[in-house]
């Protein structure tokens, strides 16, 4: 787990929240400038892709999840690359940043990862809609922590953002943070449902002020999930919050990130906006299920000069 200081939060400042504005045209220009930059090549690209694996929350969030699938996912998290690729790349050890599952699968995942430092993350609080009662959402967090989850991915009440009820959102986030205890909390904003970049920025600020350790774009279930534009807004909120509070908050893009090329773009964004310190699993995670397969294929091409079929890199 991280050795960074937890985000203790700050009192809610409504004047600060209402003053937050996003220049959408400037965001678009910045994103376009980042996309136009020369991409990493050869051994540099391979090193960045290995880092992407280290920052991955290997995830299964399907209605047909079984203990067997979760056990296979955990085995993949423990050894995400084949032994021959590890040897060719000069790697002794490599794991993903976490395994992310529903509450019912926390205990099997904890058992499968026993003896390893990989944390189990549980999606919680009525994921993905977040519309169950507050009592139910808090109890779900508590039960997941009791089952061994060391990270909790909560979903905020989007209605609070859409109605600009920042007091309610702040109180909700504080309650979730308290229920997590020592477990780190990632606040899922469901940015595809927040309508404007101003709302994304303000929701990011409120969640950080209330003590979120990470802010995360999406559940992966919305029509629109992680985008470079939303990510830029969120990471700049993280940067400004650090200046104000002294606390480092992590970032997790999730939903629709399935290619190595896209992963490299997000890593580049983090490096450009927040620096090398955020290129670690303590402060950056991908929410991913199929991403690992494409990264493995790219790394095999680097090692052998040939692309392999996806089925040679088995996933649960």
| pLDDT tens per residue, range 73-98 | 999 999 999 999 999 999 999 999 99
pLDDT above 90 covers a percentage of the chain that reads: 90
Region 92-110 average pLDDT: 97
Residues 174 and 141: beta-carbon distance below 8 Å? no
DSSP-assigned letter for residue 284: B
**Catalytic residue set:** 153, 216, 252
The CATH class of the 14-312 domain is alpha beta
pTM beyond 0.75, yes or no:
yes
Q: What would the 3-class secondary structure string for 63-99 be?
A: CCCCHHHHHHHHHHHHCCCCHHHHHHHCCCCCCCCEE
| pLDDT tens per residue, range 5-57 | 999 999 999 999 999 999 999 999 999 998 887 677 789 999 999 999 999 99
Q: Show Cβ contacts of residue 202 under 8 Å, excluding neighbours closer than 6 positions.
A: 17, 18, 20, 161, 164, 166
| pLDDT tens per residue, range 272-293 | 999 999 999 999 999 988 899 9
Residue with tokens 């779900």: 140
How many angstroms separate the CA atoms of 116 and 168, rounded?
Answer: 38
DSSP-assigned letter for residue 254: B
Bridge pairing between strands 56-59 and 286-288? parallel
């Amino acid at each position: 787990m991280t050795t960074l200081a937890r985000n203790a939060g700050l009192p809610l400042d409504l004047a600060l929240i209402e003053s937050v504005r996003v220049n959408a045209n400037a965001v678009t220009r910045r994103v376009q400038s980042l996309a136009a930059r020369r991409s990493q090549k050869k051994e540099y690209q391979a090193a960045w892709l290995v880092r992407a694996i280290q920052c991955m929350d290997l995830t299964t969030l399907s209605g047909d999840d079984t203990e067997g699938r979760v056990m296979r996912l955990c085995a993949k998290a423990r050894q995400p690359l084949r032994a021959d690729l590890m040897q060719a790349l000069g790697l002794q050890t490599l794991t993903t940043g976490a395994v992310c599952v529903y509450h019912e699968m926390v205990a099997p995942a904890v058992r499968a990862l026993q003896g390893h430092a990989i944390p189990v993350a549980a999606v919680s609080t009525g994921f993905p809609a977040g519309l169950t009662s507050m009592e139910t959402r808090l109890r779900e967090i508590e039960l997941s922590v009791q089952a061994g989850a060391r990270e909790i991915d909560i979903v905020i009440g989007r209605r609070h953002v859409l109605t600009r009820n920042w007091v309610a959102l702040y109180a909700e986030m504080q309650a979730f943070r308290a229920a997590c205890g020592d477990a780190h909390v990632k606040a899922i904003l469901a940015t595809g449902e927040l309508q404007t970049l101003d709302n994304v920025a303000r929701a990011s600020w409120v969640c950080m002020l209330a003590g979120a350790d990470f802010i995360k774009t999406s559940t992966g279930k919305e029509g629109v999930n992680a985008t470079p534009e939303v990510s830029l807004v969120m990471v700049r909120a993280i940067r400004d919050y650090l200046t104000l509070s002294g606390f480092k908050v992590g970032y997790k893009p999730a939903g629709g990130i399935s290619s190595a090329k896209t992963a490299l773009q997000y890593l580049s964004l983090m490096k450009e906006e927040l620096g090398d310190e955020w290129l670690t699993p303590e402060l950056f995670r991908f929410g991913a299920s199929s991403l690992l397969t494409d990264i493995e294929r790219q790394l095999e091409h680097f090692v052998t000069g040939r692309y392999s079929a996806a089925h040679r890199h088995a996933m649960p």
